[in-house]
Amino acid sequence: MSELALLAEKLDAADELADKRADFVLDEVVYLDGNSLGALPANVPGRVADVVHRQWGELRIRSWDESGWWTAPERIGDRIAPLVGAAVGQIVVGDSTSVNVFKALVAAVRLAGDGRDEILVDATTFPTDGYIAESAARMTGRTLRPVRPEEVPGALSERTAAVLLNHVDYRTGRLHDLPSLTAAVHEAGAVAVWDLCHSAGALPVGLDEHGVDLAVGCTYKYLNGGPGSPAYLYVRQGLQDRFDSPLPGWTSHAEPFGMHTTYTPASGAPRGRVGTPDILSMLALEAALEVWDDVTVDAVRTKSLALTDFFLRAVSEYTPAGRVESLTPTRHEHRGSQVALRCDDAGEVMKRLIERGVVGDFRHPDVLRFGFTPLYVGFGDVERAARVLGEELAAT
């Protein structure tokens, strides 16, 4: 047994989150793609069966009240709140990340008011955020200006209405400085909107602590809500009475069952609702979030950094010199919970890794991406992944 394999055994034996692995349905593969789709929590199938057979099959329409369907968006939002550093009453669950980005960004421009005619967007963002930002700019009569996150402080001006940024870069795993960038946006008199898709459930966010205005995120990555599980929208308490959604649906009305012809927004987080909640996937998410009941985000972050440190060390020792290049920052304060490796034949390499039971993903044109979900990934998994990667790279 190699030195790294022995070290992995010792680290697993000392891991305070090791028991959480039993809360997930896992097989013999090393699953390092939780930054795309989290593993299935073991309690979810039974909960979904109850929702389908009893709540829907037997109670039917009564479940909107008796099973808590109607209040699920806010109730589940309150479950997510501590994972992103927010007090209750500020998060509503529903719709997709894309829809919530649209709601947040247009609302941010409206909050900023007249006289500010420019939107800044992360130039390295996930494509959908860029598409929506461009559409939001056209619809609100603003100019869209793509800038890299590190360029934001110098790009801000009295023209800036809103800034849309990613907390963690989806390609490289770079963690951006949410506190300082939010402060810079506020100093310029603009509104900060953050996309938390690659940070929520993997590291502390501190929405309330750092005064973030609006934030959105998905729930199917590190929160393990399942494919297509609903996203969420955070609206800071102090802004809620001025939050003007561009999608004023009936469930965000102050009297949703009044069937009024004019719109009056609800108070609080429900202003972020639009249409009928997607109950099946929403209640699957609620069950999935139970794995967090006895876990702190700080403990998850500590293990995440240890896992990624160990993986980078193992890759350095196991892979042929010069065969891969890490795109992920080595400094902890700049790293999310994934490692991205540049490799000329990355697509073919990832196919071979998956055939051998190491599941990551490939990002065009040359990036091997590995996500580390501390609730179910162990150090033995990491050592095996790096060893198999080294063998495959040496073979080509």
294 is catalytic: no
Ranges of the chain with pLDDT below 50: none
Beta-bridged to residue 122, according to DSSP, are: 147
- Contact indicator for 30, 385 with CB cutoff of 8 Å: yes
Options 126, 222, 234, 318, the catalytic residue: 126
Instruction: Residue 241: count other Cβ atoms within 10 Å of its Cβ.
Output: 11
Is residue 231 a contact partner of residue 219, using CB atoms and an 8 Å limit? yes
Count CA atoms closer than 13 A to 252's CA, side-chain side.
24
Those residues whose C-beta lies under 8 Å from the C-beta of residue 163, and which sit 6 or more positions away, are 119, 120, 121, 152, 156, 181, 185, 190, 191, 192, 193
Residues of the chain with CATH 3.40.640.10: 47-292
CB 126 within 8 A of CB 264: no
| Parts of the chain belonging to CATH 3.90.1150.10 | 3-17+296-395
Residues 6 or more apart from 24 whose CB is under 8 A from it? 39, 40, 41, 42, 224, 291, 375, 376
222, 35 in Cβ contact below 8 A?
A: yes
pLDDT at residue 396 in the model = 81
Active site residue 103: no
What pLDDT, on a 0 to 100 scale, did the predictor assign at position 220? 98
Q: How far apart are CA 97 and CA 103, in angstroms?
A: 10
Q: Report how far residue 200's alpha carbon sits from residue 222's, in angstroms, rounded to the nearest whole number.
A: 7
Superfamily of domain 3-17+296-395: Aspartate Aminotransferase, domain 1 (3.90.1150.10)
Q: Catalytic one among 103, 271, 323, 369?
A: 369
The span from the CA of 16 to the CA of 9, in Å, is 14
Angstrom distance (rounded) from CA 225 to CA 231? 10
Residue 221 a catalytic site member: yes
| Cα 317 to Cα 342: distance, rounded to the nearest angstrom | 17
Q: Check residue 102 and give its pLDDT.
A: 98
3-state secondary structure 122-173: ECCCCHHHHHHHHHHHHHHCCEEEEECHHHHHHHCCCCEEEEEEECECCCCC
CATH of domain 47-292: 3.40.640.10
Residue 195: active-site member: yes
Residue of 177, 195, 361, 381 marked catalytic? 195
Query: The tokens of 125 are what?
Result: 């963002």
In one-letter notation, the amino acid at residue 2 is S
pTM value? 0.97
H-assigned helices in 166-319: 178-187, 279-288, 297-318
Look up 208 and say whether it is catalytic: no
Residue of 102, 220, 362, 370 marked catalytic: 220
- What distance in Å separates the CA atoms of residue 288 and residue 295, rounded to the nearest whole number? 13
Choose, from 79, 116, 142, 221, the residue flagged as catalytic: 221
Report the candidate in 162, 85, 59 with the shortest Cα–Cα distance to residue 116: 162
